[in-house]
Amino acid sequence: MKYSVVFTPEAKDDLFDLYDYIAEQSSPKRALGYIRRIEKSCMNLQTLPERGTRRDDLRPGLRVMGFERRVLIAFRVSAISVAILRILYGGRSVKLAFPQDEN
């Protein structure tokens, strides 16, 4: 079975912000390549969605996985889809991204 992968508006905003940051610090070409690799990693969840570390302590069903030592991808798996919730770059706190009072 293949799961559909959906990016939430917050995850899309994270990718746009990350692109802008890398493009400014390095180059648009490098930024685009990095964003494409992140998106490819997310799309790989279509076939093996139950990977990463469960973080039920922050949000029921929340999973996180690292990407190239600088990015944390936060997602949730349902019966037919994977929702990419956030893309956190450079040590941004997953605890701050998912406050406990918003369960």
d(CA 76, CA 61): 6
Q: Indicate the burial class of 26 (C-beta count within 10 angstroms; 0-12, 13-18, 19 or more).
A: exposed
* Segments making up each domain of the chain, as ranges: 4-102
Q: What percent of the chain has pLDDT over 70?
A: 97
Nearest CA to 55 among 81, 80, 77? 77
According to DSSP, residue 100 is labeled G
pLDDT of residue 46: 97
User: Domain 4-102 is in which class?
Assistant: alpha beta
Per-residue pLDDT of the chain (103 residues), as tens digits, is 899 999 999 999 999 999 999 999 999 999 999 999 999 999 999 999 999 999 999 999 999 999 998 999 999 999 999 999 999 998 777 877 887 755 5
H/E run at residue 53: strand 53-54
> 72: which strand partners?
66, 88
| pTM of structure | 0.90
d(CA 93, CA 81): 25
